[in-house]
Structure 1
């Protein structure tokens, strides 16, 4: 809903480690005032009564694959960003392994042009590194692009950066934040050959974490961190999946860290015990591993060795996912259900709402230096989410918004529901209904 002035009354406002009851006045794109009580000064003010609900900053998802251009049978920027805002994600950072890949300035700007017309949520893109595009990397404007993505394992096309000299050159020469996918390809190939020799192409899915093993993850992560320390590069390690990797990170204040990490929803929710029921629907790279690994990831998240919770949203069609092991792609859709899943963990006593907001809203904004987002502050963009913690819903085919039409959470009942999502001061989603207009903006970075 496009309105000049919105007043949210009597919300439980969650921000910077505190929850307090109050009102928020939105004028244009920005939060104008936050106070215990604000009166509507004219009949033009649209008042939203939020008694009993929680008002959060919009979630910033620092890792998604929205599949456009080139893979749009799986998803598009429009379909997946629409699903995202229904789940309280107001900004996303999308990855470069589309078709064509985002490894030139020209291809990067083409994606920004698509998003400017199609996206429901605020957007930025990672620029992709290869073994031979350092000249292009050095042309990237650091105030306009989220960062640089390097695949040190599990790449598509020519995006595996496996030349040590090239890697060190990139780390030494870019001022961009470097985000990495860490799995050692040599280890994985050797493991895969072992299982193919025994089972052929139809390897039981339960062996996925043995093939894409904890050793492969740790070997790659530790090498990337060693290189970052050597060169002074700013490094962010995506989707930790093992307890051992958490030992590589510190819990010093985020603002002082040069090496940071992320964990994804699926690694906090599922374990290898779920493969029997879910099969290749929960085939991800890195693989979902043991309960012990999950418990250690939770421990590191709560003691601040892990800085960010993201989705790694990566849709595939059901037909693709139902192939035999070696042909079933890795990845799954998550943006619609990520925040409800984390709020479910709040209901289970695993995490506080304040900590959810820290890891999903505040920290991505701090880590990527995103301008005026991720917090509920006067003068900041009004990217906000109203949540009803006691309004259960069950994930079913008919309420899944992903283009691929399925979810690994199908059949799960979540206690919490997103009722309103505001994008740049506009009411974009309200009680399961979307506004026809799109209010998204390109993210900018205070660097």
Structure 2
């Protein structure tokens, strides 16, 4: 009988027979070994409280939380005095453009920008090239991320008018959700077949995340303006083309479908005050069947900004009025809207510098979302506790992310130190997106991220990256 060697490592036993090559042991240790990190005297913002505490990280996980901690074998100490320690942001909607659109961005480049902005985990959308509408293409993206992403990651599976069989094969414990475009989209991803939608909402047991705009209504609006202006429609008409009515028509239809079939629906990037009547704030998030998301740009910019920003702030859905933005932020605070995200969607400046009908919609945001929300805090519009709830806790609850989204002992150490006194003006030399620009250029934010820890690895510290350890694939406790 072979002698078994028991090695206790990373809260697991590795069972190895005496005939194994011991180099394999060293490989396993190298893969999982990380520095133990002690963060001292930080103002920990977590679960509705702000308290000065120490946090000790060992082997990827939060080992201890308390005051005046002095554990043994501390390999690195970070002074958090005067800084806020936040659970890492989980951004549930980004477009990192890989594969097929890598002249705009790569998973590697945008994940680095995310980490510098305090986003430790992202969920990426399927409208790449080719689109992520088969299990094979989905797993190819996971492979790319495993090799290149500094942040933790998951990917949505894309629904089409004719791939319901593939949708139903998706593993709910290893994939964040299914994305359906119930409005204009790139490629063939617009789902407008009534039978397909009914089948999707009745049979899919995963979260269905929906982009809601009424495509025929948008086309009718745009045709009217093309008749008046030709291809060079003034950008100020963008929110008239992608109108409040177009958003509400599609969102209300999605909500009705979800209620009819008992589906789990998550409506992305709410852009109008009118849509807010569709959502409830009297149900605990863990029990909600219909949830919603706000994006930072719909709260920060408004239709007056088209005059100076032009197509740089051309998004779908469109940035609308200041009143809409104010109502969205109020709905974030009173819990009609459940999470805050970015819809980060970079394009090159050359692509953006076009007449209205040719300039693509979308822009880079993931590096600055935490700074935007901190600015709202400084303006007295939201508390830090609520900000953390919507950017970290609630995405974890909504998607049932395993052991992330909180600062808790036994949870993965996804942590962000934010310096509230280190102002930063967004400029070309500090923008990390591959596309090289930001709609926030020239804006001075009151604070910035100083350190980001991803799954226990100090990935970013004072402007420097350590890419020796990549992020982890998110798991879902479903």
Give the TM-score normalised by structure 2. Answer: 0.92
Counting only pairs closer than 5 Å after superposition, residues 166-185 of structure 1 correspond to structure 2 as: 166-185=196-215
Q: Please state if 1:152 is matched with 2:191.
A: no
State the partner residue of 1:120. 150
CA distance in 1, matches of 2:173, 2:467: 30
The CA RMSD over aligned residues, in Å, is 0.8
| Equivalent-residue separation in structure 2 for 1:436 and 1:292 (angstroms) | 42
2:333 maps to 1:302: yes
| Contact 1:69/1:99, CA 8 A, preserved across alignment | yes
C-alpha distance in 2 between matches for 1:4 and 1:315: 34
Residue in 2 that maps onto 1:331 = 362
Aligned equivalent of 1:340: 371
Residues 79-123 of structure 1: CA distance to partner in whole angstroms, max 9, x if unpaired?
000000000000000000000000000000000011100101000
The answer as to whether partners of 1:266 and 1:311 remain within 8 angstroms in 2 is yes
Structure 2 residue aligned with 1:203: 233
1:67 aligns with 2:97: yes
CA contact (8 A) 2:90 2:122 kept: yes
Deviation of 1:176 after TM superposition, in Å, equals 0.8
For 1:430, the equivalent position in structure 2 comes to: 461
Aligned structure 1 segments of 4 or more residues deviating by more than 6 angstroms: none
In the alignment, what sits opposite 2:426? 395
Q: 1:355 aligns with which of 386, 389, 392?
A: 386
Equivalent in 268, 277, 288 of residue 308 of structure 2: 277
- Corresponding residue pairs, total: 445
Superposed CA offset, 1:225-259 (max 9, x none): 00000000000000000000011100022112100
Cα deviation per residue 1:168-217 (whole Å; 9 max; x = unaligned)? 10111111100000000010000000000000000000000000000000
**Residue of structure 1 equivalent to 2:19:** none
Alpha-carbon distance in structure 2 between the residues aligned to 1:294 and 1:25: 39
Q: 1:134 corresponds to which residue?
A: 164
Q: Which position in structure 2 is the counterpart of 1:441?
A: 472
In the alignment, the residues of structure 1 paired with residue 421 and residue 217 of structure 2 have an alpha-carbon distance, to the nearest angstrom, of 46
Partner Cα separation in structure 2 for residue 136 and residue 129 of structure 1: 9
Of 93-102 and 248-257, deviating more is 248-257
8 Å CA contact 1:119–1:438 kept in 2: the answer is: no
Contact 2:457/2:469 (8 A) holds in 1: no
Larger C-alpha radius of gyration, 1 or 2?
A: 2
Q: Deviations over 1:375-394 (max 9, x none)?
A: 00000000000000011010
1:3–1:46 Cα contact (<8 Å) kept: no
Report deviation, 1:292. 1.2
Distance 1:335 1:295 in 2: 21
